[in-house]
């Protein structure tokens, strides 16, 4: 019985590759980010340089060769709003340009006056990435 459940996926957390082959295409798009954002694959993980006020949203930074990439991921099936705070030594850009790798849509997130915080609206399970320094 346990094997059957594993092969059918979890109906409460769909889609699963066994039930929807399009899921492979979605993950292929995410993994392709490594070409344009190599710091996401190989960079130093920065654990204390970013904060988020929403526990349903994961934020992370990685740095490689002077470039810093930001990843924002909604962990829920409901739309989310999050305030992201950067505590990097350098100033963040006046506006963060966020890319949705699935739709290729870009969204501007204007930073606060001190260039440390910005707000973002996320769709269910949405992934957004940005390079915040060169």
pLDDT in tens, 60-100: 999 999 899 999 999 999 999 999 999 887 766 778 899 99
**Nearest partner of 57 among 70, 67, 69, 45, judged by Cα:** 70
- Note whether 132 and 70 are within 8 A (CB): yes
Residue 123: count of CB within 10 angstroms of its CB: 15
Give CA–CA dist 101/46, Å, rounded.
Answer: 22
State the CATH class of domain 15-133. Answer: mainly beta
pLDDT above 70: residue 59: yes
Give CA–CA dist 84/124, Å, rounded.
Answer: 17
pLDDT in tens, 25-38: 777 777 777 888 89
Domain definitions of the chain by residue range: 15-133
Two structure tokens written together for 27: 């993950």
- Model confidence at 8, pLDDT cuts 50, 70, 90, reads very low
Q: Where are the beta strands (DSSP E) in 8-126?
A: 44-46, 50-52, 57-64, 67-74, 80-86, 95-99, 106-110, 117-122
- Model confidence at 5, pLDDT cuts 50, 70, 90, reads very low
pLDDT above 80: residue 48: yes
- Model confidence at 113, pLDDT cuts 50, 70, 90, reads confident
- Model confidence at 13, pLDDT cuts 50, 70, 90, reads low
Q: Model's pTM, two decimal places? A: 0.79
Report the percentage of the chain scoring pLDDT > 70: 81
Q: Which residues contact 55 (CB under 8 A, 6 or more apart)?
A: none
């Amino acid at each position: 019985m346990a094997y059957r459940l594993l092969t059918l996926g979890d109906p409460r957390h769909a889609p699963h590759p066994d039930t929807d082959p399009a899921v492979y295409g979605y993950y292929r798009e995410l993994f392709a980010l490594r070409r344009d954002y190599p710091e996401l694959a190989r960079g130093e993980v920065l654990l204390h340089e970013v904060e988020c006020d929403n526990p349903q949203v994961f934020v992370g930074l990685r740095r490689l060769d002077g470039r810093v990439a930001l990843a924002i991921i909604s962990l829920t099936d409901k739309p989310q709003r999050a305030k992201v705070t950067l505590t990097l030594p350098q100033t963040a850009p006046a506006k963060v340009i966020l890319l949705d790798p699935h739709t290729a849509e870009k969204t501007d997130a204007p930073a606060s006056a001190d260039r440390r915080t910005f707000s973002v609206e996320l769709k269910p399970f949405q992934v957004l990435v940005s390079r915040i320094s060169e």
